[in-house]
């Protein structure tokens, strides 16, 4: 937690170090510029910036500049501020470290020997060895131009700070709302109705019925994208509009600038500076929002995939600003005739490198490529991002603003350190691997499932719905890659004497397919693994009066943990409690019972009501090792159910939960054992109908009720549940019942 706090502290420390310096800098540079018209009796060494080196290292020149600052400083800012800027400039560009005390003494000494050109017009201005009083009207004329220039730099930093403040305040407010709502501190009929309507109109709706499942533009596969929710869209629109305002407003242009010339040149330079600096201010947000150890997830209660959506759009804003910066600056160099010379400068070359990497990142991050080659995308993404940051640093290392890059690199390094700490806390463990194949009759519709069982250290703590990143320490399985999986902790709910975390993998493509192929070809049953986590938002489902869980396929571990945790503190068989938990699991075929039977049987004699929907297969219970079906293996009709008989003795009940294991019985026997407390139905669940039923039940209770609705499974199913809940809440007839949707699926 200490390191995660440092992530945010280091970010906001940037706001303090990115100083605003328009007023003192404008005077300092005006005086420095005025000194350049004189030729001092001093030859700077090669390899330095001549005018800076002379101004900082030759006492007559330094004293003249200090007296110039003193003559006009009080009118716009304290004398000490201008001296501070001169000291910073000499340290960075003049190869000399000076204190304010020394500079003041230099000014006093120069005042004894200063020459006033107005009183002595014949004074020899070549090979000067004495301080000179500058023409203050010329200084004032340049000062206005310098002020406009530096004020634009200040605005660039200030506006970037405003976007960071926007995200900080917004996420804190969202966090307060989610925290109060999650713990059910707000319980009133009128407030529940308003909260439900707010969720129905703002929080829950998708943009086009798609959120976790990609939307296609005109049915073209290349134009697939993951769309934000309506609430996220409002947040992003406000952010983007503010960025447009910040990068297009408050430019101070004069008719003819002594520094930049006509208004066209001024606009080119000012827009280039504004967009370039503004792009830098967004860099820390990119790393913070895209990192796994993001403390803002804890503060706001928002899931990881929401922050990834924000990460993507912030990166697009930053990229557009970088492109505009480069375009405007190149035009400025061309109109000033310095483009060819700048091509050989390191700052320009590193800027080209950073922009090139930025554009490559944007191209390779397109969902079409990311979906089909995720492992390659991730490696390239990290590599290009690192080169991009290096290019950014050296692009500005001589002119300032590198603190934004250093803060970004610091956030990235701290995130990696904390990830290593998470891995170290779990340690290297030997995972047991087991493949569950579907029945021969289900082979065309059901994929095999790999169950990964990992011993859990005594000090490691998980929570329902959490996920971990798994590293397989096998050279054939790309041990350097990590992949996210939701877990089921066997000890959290029922006190399993052999603490394990279980992961259920459906081999599709990429690494999951490689794992399956290696198990089958090499006949391996165990592998060394590293576990990083746990990650994910902690949903307090135990605080809800009613809990309804919609699950699809391999999305069962998280919701199952929620259902078991919700009743783990209640005595077995105590059905008098008003708390109700209903688990609705949709599976393709009954073959799915092969790999989750041992877990599901533990819900026997608890408050959890379980309904299993078989969507593609039938309810035929032929033995998985025999394609023939006997009459005893078919249960009619298509709804399978049997009233459970409560056991009076707690010891007897607990032993019943472990009396039969999936490795020794057939699917027919599993269904028979489960049907004591599980209802099997052919088809798909009707979410709105089920929600209507639960709301009606809650309305019959005298007290104000809260319903927690958890969903996890295929992205299309989760989107359907979300849209169904939003439609149901828009009817505005839930009365004293409040409904919260908790989405477990993470897609990015």
Q: What is the mean pLDDT of each run of 10 residues along the chain (748 residues)?
A: 37 39 78 86 85 90 91 72 88 89 92 80 75 85 87 92 95 86 61 81 86 80 86 96 96 90 94 96 94 88 92 96 97 94 93 96 89 86 95 90 93 93 94 86 78 92 91 85 88 64 87 83 88 87 87 92 74 54 92 89 87 83 41 33 32 40 71 90 90 82 79 91 90 79 84
Report the alpha-carbon distance of residue 204 to residue 225 in Å, rounded. Answer: 19
String of DSSP letters for 702-725 = SS-EEEEEEEESSHHHHHHHHHHH
Contact 535, 469 (CB under 8 A): yes
| Three-class HEC string of 368-434 | HHHHHCHHHHHHHHHHHHHHHHHHHHHHHCCCCCHHHHHHHHHHHHHHHHHHHHHHHHHCCEEEEEE
pLDDT score recorded for residue 702? 59
Q: What is the pTM of this model?
A: 0.84
pLDDT score recorded for residue 74? 64
- Residue 430 φ/ψ, nearest 5 degrees: -100, 115
Q: Which helix (H) or strand (E) holds 502?
A: strand 500-505
Contacts of 115 (CB under 8 A, 6+ apart): 123, 130, 131, 132, 133
186: buried, middle or exposed (CB in 10 Å: 19+, 13-18, 0-12)?
middle
pLDDT score recorded for residue 521? 85
CA angle 31, 133, 65 (to 5 degrees): 35
- Radius of gyration for the alpha carbons in the chain, expressed in angstroms and rounded: 34
Give the sign of the dihedral formed by CA 374, CA 378, CA 381, CA 387: negative
Q: What is the DSSP letter of 571?
A: P
Stated length of the chain = 748
**Of residues 411, 493, 527, the one with CA closest to residue 14:** 411
- Token pair in block for residue 415: 């995130």
Report the alpha-carbon distance of residue 92 to residue 86 in Å, rounded. Answer: 10
Give the sign of the dihedral formed by CA 53, CA 54, CA 55, CA 56: positive
| SS3 of residue 170 by DSSP | helix
Q: What is the DSSP letter of 741?
A: E
Phi-psi label, residue 428: left if phi above 0, alpha if psi -120 to 50, beta otherwise? beta
- Token pair in block for residue 93: 């560009």
Residue found by looking up tokens 């939701």 in the block = 486
- Token pair in block for residue 580: 């109700």
Alpha helices, DSSP H only, in 557-642?
Answer: 557-567, 593-600
Report the alpha-carbon distance of residue 687 to residue 548 in Å, rounded. Answer: 10
Domains of the chain: 17-134 (no CATH), 148-329+395-422 (no CATH), 431-743 (3.40.50.80)
């Amino acid at each position: 937690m200490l390191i995660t706090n440092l992530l945010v502290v280091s970010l906001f420390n940037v706001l303090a170090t990115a100083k605003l310096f328009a007023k003192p800098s404008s005077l300092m540079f005006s005086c420095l510029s005025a000194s350049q018209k004189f030729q001092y009796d001093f030859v700077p060494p090669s390899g330095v910036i001549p005018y800076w080196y002379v101004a900082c290292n030759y006492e007559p020149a330094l004293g003249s500049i200090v007296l110039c600052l003193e003559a006009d400083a009080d009118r716009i800012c304290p004398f000490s501020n201008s001296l501070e800027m001169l000291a910073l400039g000499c340290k960075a560009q003049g190869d000399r470290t000076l204190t304010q005390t020394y500079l003041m003494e230099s000014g006093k000494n120069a005042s004894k020997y200063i020459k006033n050109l107005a009183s002595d017009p014949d004074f020899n201005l070549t090979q000067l060895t004495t301080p000179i009083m500058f023409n203050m009207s010329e200084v004032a004329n340049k000062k206005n131009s310098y002020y406009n220039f530096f004020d634009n730099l200040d605005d660039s930093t200030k506006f970037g700070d405003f976007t960071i403040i926007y995200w900080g305040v917004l996420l804190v407010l969202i966090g307060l709302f989610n925290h109060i709502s999650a713990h059910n501190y707000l319980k009133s009929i009128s407030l529940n109705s308003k909260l439900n309507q707010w969720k129905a109109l703002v929080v829950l709706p998708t943009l086009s019925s798609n959120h976790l499942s990609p939307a296609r533009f005109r049915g073209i596969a290349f134009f697939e994208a993951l769309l934000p929710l309506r609430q996220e869209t409002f947040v992003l629109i406000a952010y983007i509009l503010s960025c447009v305002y910040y990068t297009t407003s408050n430019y101070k242009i004069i008719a003819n600038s002594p520094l930049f010339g006509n208004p066209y040149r001024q606009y080119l330079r000012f827009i280039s500076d504004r967009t370039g600096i503004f792009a830098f201010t967004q860099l820390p947000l990119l790393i913070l929002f895209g990192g796994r150890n993001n403390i803002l997830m804890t503060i706001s209660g928002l899931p990881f995939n929401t922050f990834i959506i924000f990460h993507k759009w912030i990166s697009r804003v930053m990229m557009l600003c970088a492109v505009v910066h480069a375009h405007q600056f190149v035009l400025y160099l061309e109109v000033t005739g310095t483009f060819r010379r700048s091509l050989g400068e390191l700052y320009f070359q590193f800027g080209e490198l950073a922009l090139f990497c930025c554009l490559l990142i944007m191209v390779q991050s397109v969902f079409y490529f990311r979906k089909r080659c995720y492992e390659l995308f991730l490696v390239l993404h990290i590599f290009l991002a690192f080169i991009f940051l290096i290019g950014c640093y050296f692009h500005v290392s001589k002119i300032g603003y590198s603190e934004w890059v250093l803060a970004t690199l610091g956030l990235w390094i701290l995130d990696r350190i904390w990830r290593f700490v998470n891995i170290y806390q779990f340690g290297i463990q030997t995972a047991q691997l087991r493949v569950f194949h579907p029945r021969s009759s289900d082979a065309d519709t059901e994929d095999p499932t790999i169950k990964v069982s990992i011993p859990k250290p005594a000090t490691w703590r998980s929570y329902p719905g959490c996920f971990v990143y798994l590293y397989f320490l096998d050279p054939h399985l790309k041990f350097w890659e990590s992949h996210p999986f939701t877990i089921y902790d066997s000890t959290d709910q029922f006190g399993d004497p052999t603490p394990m975390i279980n992961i259920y993998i459906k081999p599709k493509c990429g690494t999951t397919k490689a794992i399956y192929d290696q198990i089958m070809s090499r006949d391996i049953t165990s592998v060394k693994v590293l576990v990083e986590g746990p990650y994910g938002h902690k949903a307090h489902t135990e605080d809800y009066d009613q809990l309804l869980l919609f699950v699809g396929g391999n999305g069962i571990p998280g919701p199952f943990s929620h259902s078991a945790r919700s009743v783990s503190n209640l005595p077995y068989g105590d059905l008098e409690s008003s708390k109700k938990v209903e688990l609705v699991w949709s599976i393709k075929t009954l073959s799915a019972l092969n790999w989750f039977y041992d877990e599901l049987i533990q819900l026997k004699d608890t408050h959890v009501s379980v309904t299993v929907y078989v969507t593609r297969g039938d309810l035929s219970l032929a033995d998985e090792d025999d394609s023939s079906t006997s009459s005893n293996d078919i249960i009619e009709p298509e709804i399978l159910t049997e009233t459970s008989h409560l056991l009076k003795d707690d010891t007897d009940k607990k032993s019943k939960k472990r009396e039969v294991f999936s490795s020794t019985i057939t699917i027919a026997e599993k269904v028979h054992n489960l049907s004591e407390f599980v209802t099997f139905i052919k088809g798909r669940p009707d979410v709105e109908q089920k929600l209507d039923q639960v709301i009606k039940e809650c309305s019959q209770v005298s007290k104000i009720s809260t319903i927690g609705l958890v969903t996890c499974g295929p992205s299309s199913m989760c989107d359907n549940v979300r849209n169904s809940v939003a439609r149901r809440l828009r009817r505005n007839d839930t009365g004293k019942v409040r409904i919260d949707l908790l989405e477990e699926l993470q897609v990015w």
